[in-house]
């Protein structure tokens, strides 16, 4: 009898401890009143370079908003939606497609997006091949190997899909001999350059940077098609974030170029400035998704 009672007590105690530990693990990551702010980054380019690019911005934002800001890089584009859903991150620099998805599915709020070194705050997608591949048209692509970036990227998936649809390719799965997802834009370019794939897709900012640092790529890769311009990767935050914090973040980004430290951070980011962005800016992506037969409200995908 005594033994039974102690067993019951023990079970309750275990349950209480488990619950407390669970709360301890969950609460610090999502609460608005917490000491730090976690922002997600997409692996649009080499994850190490990406991490290094955003490190100074974390320091700068921490100083300006009076709260520790840390960036966490995600290995998958699609994971950002899950992370936001699970409130593992308070916001993220989302690509145009993931941004559009998050707006539609999670109601995230876009705050600001960077102005690229060419002066625009937009980017567009490229479809490219090796010069010696002999591929000039969509017809030439048939039976070749395609390197997409990820199913949640505009330039790396939605645009090539839309492009193929417009050129009569209904089901790319049957059109290509093989296709796969590299996970990042520069990995897609590397795949084409190294011969692992015949056709690649990537966003122009990463493409241009890749070609800047790789003379062989400049010599050997040629662009076959480019998409319409879409908004650059802007900072979107959870709809639950405190308004004051949101404003602080937004204003800090918009005023970065006004001080020397901010200018230095912008230089590392390869950006000139930050401009305000809103949901309307993502309409062009919505249209592109529509052409690619993608329903943004319930778009679910699984990488292969």
Partner 1 sequence: MKKRIVLSFVLIFSFFVLGAGVLLYHLFSSSSNLRYLIGLHEIGDIRQELSYNLQNVQLYVLSPPVIFTEHLDKVIESVDLLDESIRACHDCHHVPGIRAEIESTELLVADLKVEMSHLITLVSEGDRRRDLQRNVSDLSNKIKDQVHEMVIRAATTIQSKSDSVMSAIDKSYVYLAFTMLLVLLLAFFVAQYLTKSVTKPIKSLMEGSSEIAAGRWGYQVAYDGKDEFAELVGIFNTMSRSLYTKKRQLHQQMDELKNAQNQLIQAERLTALGSMAGGIAHDFNNILGAMMGHLSILRKTIPQDHDNIAMLETVEKAGFRASDLVNQLLTFSRKKTTKPLPLPISTIITSVVSILDSTMKNNKITLTLNLFEPSPIVYGDSTQLEQVLMNLCVNARDSMKDGGEIKISTVTRYLDEQFVEKYKHVDFDPGEFVQIIVADNGSGIEKKNLTQIFEPFFTTKGEGKGTGLGLSMVYGIVQAHGGCCFVDSTLGQGSTFTIYLPVHSPPH
Give me the least distance between CB of 130 and partner 1, in Å please. Answer: 18
Measured CA to CA, the distance from residue 158 to residue 148 in angstroms comes to 10
Identified binder of partner 1 from the candidate list 9, 21, 26, 73, rule CB under 8 A: 73
Tell me whether residue 187 or residue 269 sits nearer to partner 1 (CB atom). Answer: 187
Measured CA to CA, the distance from residue 144 to residue 227 in angstroms comes to 21
Size of residue set near partner 1 by CB under 8 A: 26
Measured CA to CA, the distance from residue 62 to residue 296 in angstroms comes to 34
Give me the least distance between CB of 77 and partner 1, in Å please. Answer: 9
Question: Which of helix, strand or coil describes residue 129?
Answer: strand
Sign of CA dihedral 69, 115, 122, 275: positive
Identified binder of partner 1 from the candidate list 18, 32, 72, 85, rule CB under 8 A: 72
**75 counts as binding partner 1 under rule CB under 8 A:** yes
**181 counts as binding partner 1 under rule CB under 8 A:** yes
Q: Which residues contact 6 (CB under 8 A, 6 or more apart)?
A: none
Q: Pick the stretch among 41-49, 57-65, 125-133, 201-209 that binds partner 1 (CB under 8 A).
A: 41-49
Q: Are 176 and 118 in contact (CB under 8 A)?
A: no
Residue 209 has a CB neighbour count (10 Å cut-off) of: 18
**13 counts as binding partner 1 under rule CB under 8 A:** no
Per-residue exposure over 90-109, b if at least 16 CB sit within 10 Å of its own CB, e if not: bbbbbbbbbbbbbbbbeebb
Give me the least distance between CB of 176 and partner 1, in Å please. Answer: 13
Identified binder of partner 1 from the candidate list 29, 30, 34, 51, rule CB under 8 A: 51
**162 counts as binding partner 1 under rule CB under 8 A:** no
Give me the least distance between CB of 290 and partner 1, in Å please. Answer: 24
- Beta-bridge mates of residue 239: none
**205 counts as binding partner 1 under rule CB under 8 A:** no
Give me the least distance between CB of 26 and partner 1, in Å please. Answer: 16
Residue 27 has a CB neighbour count (10 Å cut-off) of: 12
Which residues of the shown chain bind partner 1 in the complex (CB under 8 A)? 43, 46-49, 51-52, 72-76, 79, 150-151, 180-184, 186-187, 190, 196, 303-304
């Amino acid at each position: 009898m005594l033994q039974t009672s102690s067993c019951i007590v023990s079970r309750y105690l275990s349950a209480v401890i488990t619950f407390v530990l669970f709360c301890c693990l969950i609460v610090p990551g999502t609460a608005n009143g917490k000491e730090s702010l976690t922002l997600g980054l997409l692996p649009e380019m080499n994850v190490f370079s990406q991490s290094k690019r955003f490190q100074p911005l974390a320091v700068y934002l921490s100083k300006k908003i009076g709260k520790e800001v840390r960036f966490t890089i995600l290995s998958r584009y699609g994971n950002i939606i899950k992370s936001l859903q699970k409130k593992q991150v308070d916001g993220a620099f989302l690509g145009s497609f993931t941004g559009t998805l998050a707006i539609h599915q999670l109601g995230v709020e876009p705050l600001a997006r960077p102005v690229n070194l060419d002066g625009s705050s937009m980017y567009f997608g490229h479809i490219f091949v090796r010069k010696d591949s002999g591929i000039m048209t969509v017809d030439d692509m048939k039976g070749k190997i395609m390197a997409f970036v990820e199913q949640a990227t505009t330039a790396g998936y939605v645009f090539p899909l839309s492009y193929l649809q417009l050129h009569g390719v209904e089901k790319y799965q049957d059109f290509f001999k093989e296709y796969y997802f590299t996970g990042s834009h520069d990995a897609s370019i590397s795949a084409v350059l190294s011969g692992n794939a015949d056709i690649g897709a990537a966003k122009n900012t990463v493409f241009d940077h890749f070609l800047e640092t790789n003379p062989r790529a400049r010599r050997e890769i040629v662009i076959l098609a480019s998409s319409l311009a879409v908004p650059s990767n802007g900072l979107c935050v959870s709809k639950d974030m405190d308004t004051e914090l949101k404003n602080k973040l937004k204003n800090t980004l918009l005023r970065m170029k006004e001080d020397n430290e901010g200018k230095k951070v912008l230089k590392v980011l390869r950006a000139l400035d930050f401009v305000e962005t809103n949901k309307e800016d993502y309409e062009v992506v919505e249209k592109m998704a529509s052409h690619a037969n993608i329903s943004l409200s319930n778009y679910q995908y699984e990488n292969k």
